[in-house]
Amino acid sequence: MEQTEMTQRMTSFYRTAYENSINVMNTIQEQTEKMVHLSLNQSPWLPEQSKNLVNTWIASYKKGCDDFKAAAEVQYKKYETMFNPEDKINPMETVKKTKSI
């Protein structure tokens, strides 16, 4: 097995594991958010400022998760283009050409 193919398979495995982990994290976050909203709505003694604070926390968490997912997606795409088999460019040939110049 070529190193490029092995690297692509490893990257594919890591990406799949990452996506599954993100999906689990999103599911847990959504369920927790529902429970928090139910608790907040059933607590009339809780001031409105506290409810707004919790909603701000939830929004900040979602934004952080979205930013993390976007950054990871960009890095995976960069990594995949580095090891794209369709390029058919041998990095060692490039190094040899550079050294001979």
pLDDT tens digits, one per residue of 2-31: 887 888 888 889 999 999 999 999 999 999
pLDDT of residue 88: 52
Whether residue 18 contacts residue 65, with contact meaning beta carbons closer than 8 Å, is answered with no
Report the candidate in 17, 8, 9 with the shortest Cα–Cα distance to residue 72: 17
pLDDT number for residue 87:
54
Boundaries of domain holding 40: 3-100
What is the pLDDT, as a whole number, of residue 5?
A: 83
Number of structural domains, the chain? 1
b or e along 34-72 (b: 16 or more beta carbons within 10 Å of the residue's beta carbon)?
eeeeeeeeeeeeeeeeeeeebeeeeeeeeeeeeeeeeee
Low-confidence ranges of the chain (pLDDT < 70): 1, 85-101
What pTM was estimated for this model as a whole? 0.68
Q: What is the pLDDT of residue 26?
A: 93
pLDDT of residue 81: 83
Q: Are 14 and 80 in contact (CB under 8 A)?
A: no
